[in-house]
Chain A
Amino acid sequence: MLGKTAGGLFWMSRYLERAENAARLLETGQRMALTRTNNSAEEWGSVLKTAGVLDGYLAKYDEVAKDNAIDWMLRDADNPSSIRSVIKLARDNARLVRTALTHDVWSAVNSTWMQIDEGMKRRVNERDLPGTLELIRQQAALVRGATLGTMLRNDIFDFTRIGTFVERADNTGRILDVKYYVLLPTAFSVGSSLDNIQWESILRSVGAGGGYRMTHGQKTRPSDIAQFLILDQRMPRSLHFCCRKIQENLSYLKKDYGFAGPSCEASNTLFEKYLDLRISDVFESGLHEYIQDFLTDLGNLSRQIEIDYRFYE
């Protein structure tokens, strides 16, 4: 396979995953803004920050306001990480690697772009926002279904999966990075209704409300939430789950190619260093530092993968 093709598959999946995550963040933000009467600006600021688009937003707008924040995240062409921009990039990458994709995967990606492009010609008003976000989630599910159902399990599939899980780990990490203070066991968090809303919004932003209840029951406790998002082995958006998948797929490539670059070892190190431990260890060493170090190491691993498999010249 061409190095460029591996890179195209990796980035196509990253961008699709990013679009889906952004849609979920927007959904959560919108809900928070509706349930809380005060300080919705702060909430939207935190949504923008989690999506990594706050600086760009503030370069364009003077203050954080709901409508502008939604538009910035949804469809602003000046925002390279807006959902529309990211789906365009995913589709461009899919065109680049068209020969590596099945017809089903390609048409799923292409129809995603066609519908998003059509639906986002004008500002999306609040009333239509849930429908638009639902569309994005459905299309993401369609692409995922076509990928799992029609693609050969070869190196093409491996790079697709690696892209998905690098992006997903990064997203879960960012949510924790922005909201870590809510999860700290301080004297103030006594389970007030305000805390409950915050905690639930964290779960909601990774689409894990139901999964959490199944695992931990009705009671929402910050340390259980941290455990669930970081170390749970069955929760498909936990850091543990994502890093395990990255590790596995890199090992398939190693087996397939008969060689491995430094990234394969780096994925093992990442796992041992951050995920082969208990949640109490994480809190002891400091949740915030833990997350920040994790995100840095994950970024380095991603760059090493790009080098090892010759994505670029």
Chain B
Amino acid sequence: MSEFFDEMFNGDGSLRGPYEEIGRWFNTEDASRLRAKQREAEEVFRLTGITFNVYGKAEAEERLIPFDIVPRVISAREWQRLERGIEQRVRAINAFLHDIYHRQEIVRAGRVPAEMIAGNEAFLPQMLGVSPPGQVYTHIVGVDLVRTGPDEFFVLEDNARTPSGVSYMLENRETMLKMFPELFSATNVRNVSDYPRNLRRSLAACAPACADGEPTVALLTPGIYNSAYYEHAFLADQMAVELVEGHDLRVVDGRVCMRTTRGYTPIDVLYRRVDDGFLDPLNFDPDSALGVPGILDVYRAGGITIANAPGTGIADDKAIYSYMPEIVEFYTGEKPLLQNVPTWRCSDPESLSFVLDNLSDLVVKEVHGSGGYGMLIGPTANKKEISAFRAKLKLRPANYIAQPTLSLSTVPIFSRSGLAPRHVDLRPFVLVSPEGINITPGGLTRVALKKGSLVVNSSQGGGTKDTWVLED
């Protein structure tokens, strides 16, 4: 018996409900044919250029994110619950952002300490008093969920800056449709392919008042060497909008304009995949070549919508994360439908001493880190790693939070020796506009390919799966 909850098989080896079709199908398939299909899929990914660049490696090394052909299935009932919880959380995040850049009621009410806001790197004083069009701060959110049992879902992280991975959700589905059409005829899987259309519509709905006619949307990328460039090009292509870089843009007559073959054309909504700090060399990092000098001034004057709004990073900061239950309650007046993972803030001396005493059982993360870099996974770390981390933790305790090691659920992958359980997480994608909140039924399932590993990040050897949400 496994100590982990497996989403496909019950403890007695029988199939769980949502996986009945998949299980039946798998048993009738020939392993060598599946293996050939798996190789075929990787070839398609490589040719299409669905790769990511690895930082710190030789110039522009491009790698594939391994794709596993066994889909991850979520029942209609499970999804409805998740959907309600995600919507509640995303509403609260937007209300929170509006509040902290205006009256800061939540601080006045003593629910979040003032220093958590003012002293936070991700807090942008330039955004104080600014109201983005439609009051939307996080146009696109990716909520990272983990599961520990049939009904136990937790939010591991909110990605409120520039969540990535949605192209994998779409390409994984395309690949599965091409390889196993018969599977889709036998099951009622909800469609995800509307995402680019919904994204464009959602962005256009947030256009500034000065937009004339159909809003001009553009996607800002750091360029072809960025790790997520494929996704930027993919989304721009699918939305039929221009893919721009900083040097394509300049401020002309109070508008941000792109240099076209016919002259400079104003942009109404800029979906930026560039971090806050690089957005505007006049207002932030003066050395940034990725941004547009003066764009923040245009933004503040209502000349352009930036999605996500500058300064949203404070909402996915890991220290703020620990206040999310309070934040949800404060703005919605309801109990949170989705649970947080219990979190110790190491800035608090009592928590710190508990964390230091229990390092080998805990996961410790940097407050501002992402991508699985700079974290300690106590149970799999050796003595040397733990003592090195202990020193770092003591030096800058406020830079860390700690969480218990969760018993992440598993879904089988198709390994060399057949089906083998591996740990997974789930990132659904959420669009926010004045028209409402739209959650694509599906998401990105990341899977730790190494046996026993709990780290699903692609930069650390994780893979992906197609994610199926079933129709009722």
Contacts and interface: CB of A to CB of B under 8 A. Distances in A.
Interface of A: 1-6, 92, 95-96, 98-99, 103, 106-107, 110-111, 114, 155, 257, 259, 309-310, 313
B262 A99 contact: no
Nearest to A109: B49
Contacts of B394: none
A310 B259 contact: yes
Contacts, number: 57
Contacts of A106: 48-49
B229 A111 contact: no
Given A95-B233, A309-B261, A313-B259, 12 more contacts: A1-B260, A1-B261, A2-B259, A3-B248, A6-B261, A95-B49, A95-B229, A99-B236, A99-B237, A106-B49, A155-B261, A310-B263
A4 B237 contact: no
15 contacts: A2-B260, A2-B261, A3-B259, A3-B261, A4-B247, A4-B248, A5-B242, A92-B224, A95-B49, A98-B233, A99-B242, A99-B243, A114-B46, A310-B261, A310-B263
B431 interface: no
Contact of B237 (A98, A155, A310): A98
Contact of A2 (B49, B224, B258): B258
A96 to B, nearest CB: 6
Interface in B229-249: 229, 233, 236-237, 242-245, 247-248
Contacts of A309: 261
Nearest to B235: A99
The 8 closest A-B CB pairs, nearest first, are A98-B233, A99-B237, A309-B261, A3-B259, A95-B224, A99-B236, A6-B261, A107-B47
A142 B361 CA distance: 57
B49 A313 contact: no
Contacts of A155: 261
Given A95-B229, A98-B233, A99-B237, A3 B47 contact: no
Nearest to B47: A107
Contacts of B224: 92, 95-96
Contacts of B245: 4
B262 A257 contact: yes
Chain B, interface residues (CB within 8 Å), range: 20 to 34
B49 A4 contact: no
Interface string B200-239: 0000000000000000000000001000010001001100
A310 B260 contact: yes
A259 B260 CA distance: 14
Contacts of B259: 2-4, 310, 313
B370 to A, nearest CB: 24
Interface string B43-55: 0001111000000
A309 B248 CA distance: 13
B248 A2 contact: yes
A106 B46 CA distance: 12
A50 B289 CA distance: 38
Contacts of A310: 259-261, 263
Residue from the set B236, B237, B245 with the largest chain A CB neighbour count within 10 Å: B237
Residue from the set A4, A103, A310 with the largest chain B CB neighbour count within 10 Å: A4
A151 B395 CA distance: 59
B59 to A, nearest CB: 10
A6 B229 CA distance: 19
Nearest to B44: A107
Nearest to A114: B46
A110 B261 contact: no
Contacts of B258: 2
A71 to B, nearest CB: 21
Residue from the set A2, A96, A114, A313 with the largest chain B CB neighbour count within 10 Å: A2
A2 B242 contact: yes
A40 B46 CA distance: 41
Contacts of B243: 98-99
A4 B49 CA distance: 21
Contacts of A110: 47-49
A95 B261 CA distance: 19
Contacts of B247: 4, 313
B241 to A, nearest CB: 8
A98 B238 CA distance: 11
A3 B48 CA distance: 25
A2 B244 contact: yes
